């Protein structure tokens, strides 16, 4: 397919904000030409949607240290099956990615084993302990696209301010997890009536706002480039809006689980619904959807966090946090499309275009010269999700057994098909 014409497609262009019938020609590893209307010859897309491949910012892969939970091979296969053409990985591995040597190992493993593009983030502080800054310059030279301690909050404000100051001098992006660490310590759910009835340790939504307010004050002081990995509460949105209106270089993301699930889904202590931050109230979920629609929240991500059965088959309070999401990101996002809450262009702006822009990557666009990283999908195809059919090693999805609508037909990376769905 490295020199191919894809015709009879529904082109989803998030940059132009349009959905049009048309065709697309691939030449080598890039898009050569795009046009509206009909064109004969080539591959018939059968009226399916053709969009830029998803760029998933914040994927956990278990190499090094937890390969039994997820490897680059299985994460890459899951990404390809989910229409994700670039995975941007977190450094919260058992040996944190905090030195150029570890980063080089991970980069080579990802390039060898994954059929999709792989871009690593590196740790902001050594051992993700929040005490000493990593060698940001060397890590940047070794291929890091951003710096983050994952869900570890840097408690020491002076350390974080120094990190931001140095990152600004390098033009590097800092990705942070906004939470007030004392208020949110040990929390399994969001505080409220539901948490009280279940007798579970909880954190107030205000912990997110307090953490974000602190980070944004430091961004204002240092001029750093900053991305909040997950905003999940309505209380945090005014601070984010003020920062953007003030011209600070700030963006924010939200996980697909916080866009499509709420705190009541935990029900009878179902640990596959235990994520970090915990699921929020329905009012917060709806506020996040609206924030994506208006552009206040820039990025939708899977926050793919594989956990094995032994980590999840525990009492809710003791169970590990996280859910896999590479394969379910697109069909879960399409729930919002079918509900009339977001357009397909809204979804791909947040899943493809904006992550590419924030990280300085060439993808996320349907324009001549852009990489031929594409996903062809049927937004209306119904199916019941069976977690045991997922390509990930770990099967901890909250969508197990649920009716979904929307399936990937073909995923193309660099002009080469890396996934094609079998048709019965």
Its domain, for residue 133, covers 54-363
In degrees and rounded to multiples of 5, residue 45 shows phi and psi of: -85, 0
Structure tokens at 337: 């499309």
Q: Does 188 map to a domain? A: yes
pLDDT digits 0-9 by tens, 330-352 = 999 999 999 999 999 999 999 99
> Where does the pLDDT of residue 423 fall: very low under 50, low under 70, confident under 90, or very high at 90 and above?
low
> Where does the pLDDT of residue 194 fall: very low under 50, low under 70, confident under 90, or very high at 90 and above?
confident
Residues 411, 349: Cα–Cα separation, whole Å: 18
Q: Which residue, 9, 51, 17, is CA-closest to 346? A: 17
Give me the chain's average pLDDT, please: 96
Q: Does 215 map to a domain? A: yes
DSSP string, 66-118: -TTT--HHHHHHHHHHTTEEEEEE-S-SSS-S-SHHHHHHHHHHHHHH-SSEE
pLDDT digits 0-9 by tens, 39-70 = 888 999 999 999 999 999 999 999 999 999 99
pLDDT digits 0-9 by tens, 276-331 = 999 999 999 999 999 999 999 999 999 999 999 999 999 999 999 999 999 999 99
* Mean of pLDDT values over 235-239: 98
Q: Does 216 map to a domain? A: yes
Q: Does 165 map to a domain? A: yes
Residues 415, 391: Cα–Cα separation, whole Å: 22
pLDDT digits 0-9 by tens, 382-422 = 999 999 999 999 999 999 999 999 999 999 999 999 999 97
> Where does the pLDDT of residue 424 fall: very low under 50, low under 70, confident under 90, or very high at 90 and above?
low
pLDDT digits 0-9 by tens, 261-273 = 999 999 889 999 9
pLDDT digits 0-9 by tens, 58-106 = 999 999 999 999 999 999 999 999 999 999 999 999 999 999 999 999 9
pLDDT digits 0-9 by tens, 153-182 = 999 999 999 999 999 999 999 999 999 999
- What CATH number has the domain bearing residue 274? 3.20.20.140
* Mean of pLDDT values over 240-262: 98
Say which residue the tokens 């990376």 belong to: 413
Q: Does 235 map to a domain? A: yes
Say which residue the tokens 């208006």 belong to: 294
pLDDT of residue 267: 87
Structure tokens at 289: 């959807």
Q: Does 48 map to a domain? A: no
Q: Total domain count for the chain?
A: 1
> Where does the pLDDT of residue 114 fall: very low under 50, low under 70, confident under 90, or very high at 90 and above?
very high
Q: Please state which of the ranges 16-25, 190-199, 232-241, 382-391 shows the lowest mean pLDDT.
A: 190-199
* Mean of pLDDT values over 207-218: 98
- Cis before 277 (ω within 30): yes
Whole-Å CA distances, 54 to 14, 195, 214, 299, 397: 12, 35, 31, 11, 19
Q: At residue 198, does pLDDT exceed 80?
A: yes
Coil, strand or helix: which one is 23? strand
β-sheet bridge partners, residue 304: 323
Cβ partners under 8 Å of residue 7, min gap 6 = 23, 38, 39, 40, 41, 42, 43, 44, 45
Percentage of the chain modeled with pLDDT above 70: 99
Cβ partners under 8 Å of residue 373, min gap 6 = 52, 53, 85, 86, 117, 363, 412, 413, 414
Q: Does 402 map to a domain? A: no
Contact 104, 111 (CB under 8 A): no
Q: At residue 218, does pLDDT exceed 60?
A: yes
Q: Does 266 map to a domain? A: yes
Give a three-class secondary structure readout of 111-150. HHHCCCEEEECECCEHHHCCCCECCHHHHHHCCCCCECCC
Contact 355, 58 (CB under 8 A): no
């Amino acid at each position: 397919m490295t020199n191919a014409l894809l015709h009879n497609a529904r082109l989803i262009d998030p940059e132009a904000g349009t959905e049009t019938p048309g065709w697309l020609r691939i030449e080598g590893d890039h898009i050569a030409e795009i046009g509206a209307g009909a064109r004969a010859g080539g591959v018939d897309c059968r009226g399916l949607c053709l969009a830029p491949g998803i760029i998933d910012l914040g994927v956990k892969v278990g190499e090094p240290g937890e390969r039994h939970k997820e490897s680059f091979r299985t994460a890459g296969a899951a990404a390809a099956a989910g229409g994700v053409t670039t995975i941007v990985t977190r450094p919260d591995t058992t040996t944190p990615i905090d030195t150029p040597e570890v980063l080089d190992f991970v980069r080579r493993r990802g390039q060898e084993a994954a059929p999709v593009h792989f871009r690593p983030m590196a740790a902001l502080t050594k051992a993700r302990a929040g005490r000493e800054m990593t060698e940001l310059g060397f890590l940047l030279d070794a291929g890091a696209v951003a710096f983050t301690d994952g869900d570890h909050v840097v408690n020491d404000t002076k350390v974080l301010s120094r990190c931001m100051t140095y990152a600004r001098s390098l033009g590097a992006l800092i990705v942070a997890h906004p939470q007030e660490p004392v208020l949110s310590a040990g929390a399994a759910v969001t505080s409220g009536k539901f948490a009280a009835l279940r007798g579970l340790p909880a954190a107030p939504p205000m912990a997110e706002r307090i953490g974000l307010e602190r980070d944004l004050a430091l961004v204002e002081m240092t001029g750093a480039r900053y991305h909040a990995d997950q905003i999940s509460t309505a209380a945090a949105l005014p601070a984010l809006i003020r920062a953007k209106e003030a011209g600070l270089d700030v963006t924010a993301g939200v996980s697909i689980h916080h866009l499509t699930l709420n705190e009541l889904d935990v029900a009878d202590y179902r640990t596959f619904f235990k994520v970090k931050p915990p699921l929020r109230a329905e009012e917060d979920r709806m506020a996040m959807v609206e924030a994506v629609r208006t552009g206040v929240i820039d990025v939708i991500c899977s926050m793919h966090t594989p956990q094995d059965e032994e980590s999840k088959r525990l009492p809710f309070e003791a169970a590990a946090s996280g859910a896999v999401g590479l394969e379910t990101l697109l069909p879960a996002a399409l729930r919002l499309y079918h509900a009339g809450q977001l357009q397909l262009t809204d979804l791909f702006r947040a899943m493809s275009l904006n992550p590419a822009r924030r990280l300085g990557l060439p993808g996320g666009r349907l324009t001549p010269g852009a990489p031929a990283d594409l996903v062809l999908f049927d937004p209306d195809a119904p199916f019941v999700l069976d977690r045991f059919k997922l390509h990930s090693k770990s099967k901890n999805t909250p969508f197990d057994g649920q009716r979904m609508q929307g399936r990937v037909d073909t995923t193309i990376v660099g002009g080469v098909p890396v996934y094609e769905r079998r048709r019965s």
